[in-house]
Structure 1
Amino acid sequence: MHWRETLPDWYIKKYGYQPCVNIGTSGHVDHGKTSLIQALTGSWTSVHSQELKRGITIRVGYSDAAFYKCKKCEEPLGYSTTPKCNNCGDESELSRVVSFVDSPGHESLMANMLSGSALMDGALLLVAANEQVPKPQTKEHLLALQTLGIKQIVVLQNKVDLLSHDEVLANYKDITKFVKDTNAAKSPIIPISAQSGLNLDALIGLIESTIKTPERDEKADPVMHVLRSFDVNKPGIKLKDIKGGVIGGSLTQGIFNVGDEIEIKPGLMNEKKKSYEPILTKITSLGTAAGIVESVKPGGLVAIGTTLDPSMTRSDSFIGSVIGKPGTLPENSTKLKLSVNLFDSAVGTTEDIKVNPIQNGELLRLNIGTAPVLGKVTKVKSSNVEIELRRPACIFKDGHVAISRRIAERWRLIGAGIVG
C-alpha cells in the first residue's frame, strides 16, 4: 500500500498529497547517506548512470517516506515507515510525510551539496563509527549547514555494527567534541546501522521530535527553487506524444495549480540583446511522489510539467533558476551586496589553511539559493562586500549565500554572507 492511500483527512487538508518537510542527508562520501534513505524509503536515490558506476551520489537525489506511530507501544518502539506496527503488529497512525534530499559527499561535488542544502528544513549528519572524526567533507558539510542557517540537525553514528561497544563509545566522544560550538552542539547523536536497519525506529522518533515542520505562507506569491530539470520523452517517441520539459524543485511559499502561468528567472540568454531574459510558460502537470496532483503547496519536492521545448530542460540545465507568477519575482541582477562572516580556516582541506580577508578583484564561487555562480569582488569595506556576478541571478534580500574560494585547485568553503 502506498503511503498516499493512508493519508488522513487532517493531513490532506493541511498539506495536500505531498510531504510537508524537506530533510537533507549530509556527510562524507561512503558514510552511508544513500543506504540510509533506502532503508527508510525503499528507494535508491543514486540513479544517474555515473552514480551507479562509481558508487557515489553525484546529483542531488530525493525520495519520500511516511512516518507512522503506534499508540500502544512505548517510544521509540512504535515508530516505523509502515501503517502496521513492526513491534506489536497493530495499526499505526500517520505522524508525517517527509522528503529526503540526498546530497553528494565527495569533495569535488560540494557545489551540488550546497544547492541541495538550500531546500533543506533540517538535516541528518552521518558520521561513520569506523572512521576518524571528522573527515574533511564531514566538517565541510556541517559548516555548510551552519552557513545556510539550518539548525534542526540529528547526528547519526552509522556502522556501529562493525565495532565493539568500547570502540563505539570512544567514537561517540569524538563526535561530541567535533560538534561542539556548532549548530549541532545540542543535537541528539544516535547510533545506527543503515545496512542492517539497527535503531531506525529510534531514529524516526528523534526526527519527529527534533526536525519540526516550518510554518509556511501559502497566501504569499509562490516561489520555487529549481534543483533538477529533465526531458521525460523516450527516443523514437511520436511527435504527437511529445511532452514538454519538466522542472523539479521545492516551493518555499505560495501554491501552484495546473494551468497557472509561470515565469522562470534568470531565463535564457538573448544573443541579439546580449542579456538574459525571463521565460514564460504554463504548468501542464504537477507531480509528487504521491502521484499526479492538481495543486502543490510548500514542502516536499515537486515536478512541474511545462509547455517548454523538452530539449531546453535536459541535463539539469535549469538548476539554480527560480519560478514564480509573472511579475512577482525580483529582477535579474549581476550585482550582489553581502554582509560577510568568514571562517577561521578553510574547510574540506586535510591541513589547516587560514582564511584571509576577501580581497578586491578576487574571484569567488557563490551559492545563491540553488544556483552556483562565479563573481568578482568589486568593493570591500569591513565585513561588507560588493560582487559583480558572471551571469545574472534572481536574488532575494536577506537570503543566505555560501562563499567559496579557490584553494589548491578546489573550491573550498570559507564563509557565508547575508544579502543586503
Structure 2
Amino acid sequence: MSRRGLMEQDLSKLDVTQLHPLSPEVISRQATINIGTIGHVAHGKSTVVKAISGVQLFSTIYVYRFVYVAKCMAYGIGKEDSPLCDVPGFENCRMKLLRHVSFVNCPGHDILMATMLNGAAIMDGALLLIAANESCPQPQTSEHLAAVEIMRLQHIIILQNKIDLIQESAAMNQHEAIQKFIQGTIAQGAPVVPISAQLKYNIDVICEYIVKKIPIPERNFTSPPNMIVIRSFDVNKPGSEVNDIKGGVAGGSILKGVLRVNQKIEVRPGIVMKEESGRIKCTPIYTRIVSLYAEQNELQFAIPGGLIGVGTTMDPTLTRADRLVGQATGREAVRTSGTERASRVSKLAKGEILMLNIGSMSTGAKVVAVKNDLAKPALTAPVCTNKLEKLALSRRIEKHWRLIGWGTIQAGITLDVPPCPL
C-alpha cells in the first residue's frame, strides 16, 4: 500500500484509543469530513466543486483534500501530503495538510429529492449554492435547506454564485433577500460568500471558510463499527474469468468504530424475502473485508467520516447497481419499522402513501393509523435504524415526491434474523 508522499498505515501498531481525525496516518489517506453541495438546479453545485478540486462532477460523490498556507489552496487526492505551493510568491514553500474532505454533490432537480435526502444523511457541513442572477429562494433552495435542517446540520456556508453576471447593486439587493430567506432557519447567521465558480473568484475564501467554519465532529472510534451504505457496485467487467471475479463493493461513510482489512462484518437487513404466509424474512449477509479505499488511496483501516469503498467477498450480484443502498454494515445493527412521531406535518391521512428517508434508505410507507401527532406506517421494506432517529417524510404532489416534514422513530417491530455463523 506504499504510495509516495503519504503516511503509512500499520495494523499491527493500530491503537484505536489513540486515533484522531487529524492523526497523520488517517488524514493522509482518507477524508474525515463530508461536506454537501446543495441548492436549486443549475445554481453551480458541480461547478464549484470543480473549481476547488479540479474534477468535473455530476450528481455524484468525489473525494478531495485541500490545505491552507498564506492563502487558502485546494489540491486533488493525487498529490502528496505536502506539495509545493502554487501561490505566486510562495513557490518554494511547502503546503500543510489541514483537511481531507469528501464532497457529497446533491442533485438539484425536484424529481431527485429522494437522492438528495439520502446524501444529507452523512453530511457534516454544507455549501448552499444560490445563483445571483435568479430570485431567492428558488423551490429546491428552500427544500434543500429544509432537508439539512431535518438532519440537524449546524454548519452551513452560503455561496452567492454567478456574481459576475449581475451589477453590484443587484448583488446587494439579492444579499438582502438571502438574509431575509435564512432568517429563523438553521442557516441564520451563516456567512454569505459572493463567488464566481466559473471564473474561480473567491474560491480561496471558500477553502478558508471550510477550514474555519466547519469543524470536524467528534468521532467514536472504540464502539463496534457501523457504516451507512450510500453506493454499491460490481467492479467486474463483462466476460471476466471465474477465477478473476472480485467480490462486491459497498461505498459509504462509517458512523462509528473502525473498519479493518480482513475483518468479518455483516450487512443488514441483507436479503429480504416474503414468505408464503406474508411474513417478511431478513437474512443478513456475512462477509469479509478484503480491501479498503478512499478513491485511489489504499487503506489498512478506516475511521468515521469521509467516504470509503469497502471491497468484500460478497457475491457481486448483491451489490450491483446500488442494490445495497440504505443497508448498514458492521457488527451491530437495529432493525426497526413501525411508529414515528410526526412534526410539522399537516393532515396525514389513514391509507395515505408516503416516502420515508431513514438514513440513506428511501422506502415507501402506507399510513395505517393516525392519532394526534403519532402516525403508524407500514413500510414496504425493512430498514436498519434506531429509536429516536429522525426521518424525512415526502408526499406525492403533482407526480413528484415533495418534502413535507420530519418525524422521529418511537417504536417498531424487530425482525428475527438467523444467528451469525462467523
Query: With structure 2 as the length reference, what TM-score do the two structures score?
Result: 0.86
* 1:145 shift after superposition: 0.6
Per the alignment, in what secondary structure is the counterpart of residue 5 of structure 1?
Answer: coil
Residue number in structure 2 paired with 1:390: 380
Residue number in structure 1 paired with 2:419: none
Residue number in structure 1 paired with 2:340: 338
Please say if 1:275 is aligned against 2:281: yes
RMSD, aligned α-carbons: 2.0
Per the alignment, in what secondary structure is the counterpart of residue 136 of structure 2?
Answer: coil
Residue number in structure 1 paired with 2:74: 81
- 1:135-284 pair list within 5 angstroms: 135-270=138-273, 274-284=280-290
- 1:10-21 pair list within 5 angstroms: 11-13=23-25, 15=27, 17-21=29-33
Please say if 1:379 is aligned against 2:375: no
Q: Is the 8 A contact 2:27 2:99 kept in 1?
A: no
Amino acid at match of 1:107: D
* 1:334 shift after superposition: 3.4
Residue number in structure 2 paired with 1:299: 305
* 1:15 shift after superposition: 4.7
Q: Is the 8 A contact 2:266 2:329 kept in 1?
A: yes
- Alpha carbons of structure 1 residues 99 and 375: separation in structure 2 relative to 1, 3 Å: same
**Distance between the aligned counterparts of 1:121 and 1:294, measured in 2?**
24
Residue number in structure 2 paired with 1:346: none
Q: Is the 8 A contact 2:7 2:28 kept in 1?
A: no
**Distance between the aligned counterparts of 1:80 and 1:87, measured in 2?**
12
* 1:305 shift after superposition: 0.7
Query: With structure 1 as the length reference, what TM-score do the two structures score?
Result: 0.87
Amino acid at match of 2:236: N
Residue number in structure 1 paired with 2:62: 63
- Alpha carbons of structure 1 residues 207 and 226: separation in structure 2 relative to 1, 3 Å: same
Amino acid at match of 1:41: S
Gaps of 5+ in 1: 47-56, 344-355
Amino acid at match of 2:123: M
Amino acid at match of 2:350: N
Amino acid at match of 2:240: I
Gaps of 5+ in 2: 10-21, 76-82, 411-422
Number of residue-to-residue matches in the alignment: 383
* 1:381 shift after superposition: 2.5
Identity %: 39
Which of residues 37, 42, 47 in structure 1 aligns to 2:49?
37
Residue number in structure 2 paired with 1:324: 330
* 1:271 shift after superposition: 5.6
Per the alignment, in what secondary structure is the counterpart of residue 101 of structure 1?
Answer: strand
- Alpha carbons of structure 1 residues 169 and 385: separation in structure 2 relative to 1, 3 Å: same
* 1:214 shift after superposition: 0.2
**Distance between the aligned counterparts of 1:238 and 1:272, measured in 2?**
35
Please say if 1:366 is aligned against 2:356: yes
**Distance between the aligned counterparts of 2:158 and 2:180, measured in 1?**
13
Which of residues 283, 286, 294 in structure 2 aligns to 1:288?
294
Per the alignment, in what secondary structure is the counterpart of residue 379 of structure 2?
Answer: strand
Please say if 1:100 is aligned against 2:112: no
